[in-house]
């Protein structure tokens, strides 16, 4: 490992420099994808993408666009590294997860390049915290090849409509079955647990439904254990787009509004579990 600088490195020799007046604009979005310990970060001049994966079946991406930061510079793109997300979040919230209103934590972040640690400088009320987090070899991330031209069904819902459904999912069911159809039941969430099956229908003209574009009836099952972590993003978001493509792959896109009114997106991809039995209605 190269020698680690004691002071903040000069901007010129930093692969990535970013600063932020309110660290929560970053930490909130990262919390939405925090369901595994490790994350891969990609930085381009457009912003940072942070990816978390599980079981080669589910992938979550958080996009923090450059405009969220007060200063954002990338020298040679793309800058890629793997990091312990749990540690990163602990560091970002070092001054407390629920700070007093009007008491903001500012952040300056530097990553010199391959083999160097990620340096964080956090400041609140004159107190400064310096964190040096080791980075790891970036891992290849999955390509779900989810292409908008192959999307069969797409709906946009207000998140509050799904929030209760997801937080109360019957976890004794192995799968969550999603039915999307141009005809009744339009949009249905089903579970098949120890205490019986449950179906939750959303009518197409519901107030919660922002847009409804379903072209053909699709019934797909997804491992509930893989989808459950997306509740974290759901809770933080205001709108969610649910899409499926011709292979039955699911894309959930969450729109998260931060404390400054800016919008960030978090996206979950999940592959289907198996073909549903014919008899199921």
User: Which CB atom, from 124 or from 273, has the smaller least distance to other proteins?
Assistant: 124
93 makes contact with other proteins (CB under 8 A): yes
Q: In what order do the strands lie in the sheet with 196-202?
A: 196-202, 187-193, 175-180, 218-223
> Which region, judged by CB under 8 A, interacts with other proteins, from 87-95, 159-167, 172-180, 265-273?
87-95
Q: How far is the CB of 42 from other proteins (least distance, A)?
A: 21
Query: What does the alpha-carbon distance between residue 177 and residue 229 come to, in Å, rounded to a whole number?
Result: 16
Tokens of 266: 């978090």
User: Which CB atom, from 134 or from 198, has the smaller least distance to other proteins?
Assistant: 134
User: Which CB atom, from 127 or from 147, has the smaller least distance to other proteins?
Assistant: 127
Q: How far is the CB of 87 from other proteins (least distance, A)?
A: 5
Q: How far is the CB of 91 from other proteins (least distance, A)?
A: 6
Q: How far is the CB of 102 from other proteins (least distance, A)?
A: 15
Q: Which of 46, 84, 217, 241 binds other proteins (CB under 8 A)?
A: 84
Q: Which of 90, 106, 235, 263 binds other proteins (CB under 8 A)?
A: 90
User: Which CB atom, from 46 or from 129, has the smaller least distance to other proteins?
Assistant: 129
DSSP states of 66-126 as a string?
GGGSSEEEESSSPEEEEEEHHHHHHHHTTT-SSPPTT-PPEEEEEE-STTPPEEEEEEETT
Q: Residue written as tokens 């991406």?
A: 61
Per DSSP, the three-state class of 208 is coil
Query: What does the alpha-carbon distance between residue 16 and residue 76 come to, in Å, rounded to a whole number?
Result: 9
Q: Which DSSP letter does residue 53 get?
A: E
Contact (CB, 8 A) for 202 and 208: yes
User: Which CB atom, from 103 or from 211, has the smaller least distance to other proteins?
Assistant: 103
Q: Which of 46, 95, 138, 204 binds other proteins (CB under 8 A)?
A: 95
Total count of residues recorded for the chain = 281
Residue list 111-150, contact with other proteins (CB under 8 A): 124-134
Q: Which DSSP letter does residue 163 get?
A: H
User: Which CB atom, from 130 or from 263, has the smaller least distance to other proteins?
Assistant: 130
Q: Please work out the total of residues on this chain that contact other proteins, with binding judged by CB under 8 A.
A: 20
263 makes contact with other proteins (CB under 8 A): no
How many Cβ atoms sit within 10 Å of the Cβ of residue 275? 10
User: Which CB atom, from 131 or from 208, has the smaller least distance to other proteins?
Assistant: 131
User: Which CB atom, from 129 or from 158, has the smaller least distance to other proteins?
Assistant: 129
Residue list 35-54, contact with other proteins (CB under 8 A): none
Contact (CB, 8 A) for 234 and 168: no
Contact (CB, 8 A) for 242 and 230: no
Q: Which of 2, 67, 96, 196 binds other proteins (CB under 8 A)?
A: 96
Q: Which DSSP letter does residue 187 get?
A: E
106 makes contact with other proteins (CB under 8 A): no
Contact (CB, 8 A) for 59 and 51: yes
91 makes contact with other proteins (CB under 8 A): yes
Catalog residues that contact other proteins under the rule CB under 8 A: 84, 86-87, 90-91, 93-96, 124-134
């Amino acid at each position: 490992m190269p020698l680690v600088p004691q002071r903040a490195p000069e901007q010129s020799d930093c692969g990535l420099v970013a600063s932020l007046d309110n660290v929560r604009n970053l930490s909130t979005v990262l919390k939405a994808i925090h369901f595994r310990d490790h994350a891969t970060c990609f930085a381009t001049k457009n912003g940072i993408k942070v990816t978390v994966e599980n079981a080669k079946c589910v992938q979550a991406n958080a996009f923090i666009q450059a405009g969220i930061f007060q200063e954002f510079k990338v020298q040679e793109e793309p800058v890629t590294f793997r990091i312990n997300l749990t540690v990163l979040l602990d560091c970002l919230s070092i001054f407390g997860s629920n700070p007093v209103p009007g008491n903001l934590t500012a952040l300056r972040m530097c990553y010199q390049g391959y083999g160097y640690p990620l340096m964080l400088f956090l400041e609140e009320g004159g107190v400064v915290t310096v964190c040096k987090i080791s980075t790891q070899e970036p891992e290849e991330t999955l390509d779900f090849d989810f292409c908008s031209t192959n999307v069969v069904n797409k709906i946009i819902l207000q998140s509050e409509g799904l929030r209760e459904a997801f937080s109360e999912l019957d976890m004794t069911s192995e799968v969550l079955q999603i039915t999307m159809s141009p005809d009744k039941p339009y949009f249905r969430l089903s579970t098949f647990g120890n205490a019986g099956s449950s179906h939750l229908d959303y009518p197409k003209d519901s107030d919660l439904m922002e847009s409804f574009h379903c072209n053909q009836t699709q019934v797909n099952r997804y491992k509930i254990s893989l989808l459950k972590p997306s509740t974290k993003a759901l809770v933080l978001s205001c709108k969610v787009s649910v899409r499926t493509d011709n292979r039955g792959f699911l894309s959930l896109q969450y729109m998260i509004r931060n404390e400054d009114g800016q919008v960030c997106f978090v996206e979950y991809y999940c592959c289907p579990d198996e073909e549903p039995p014919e008899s199921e209605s």
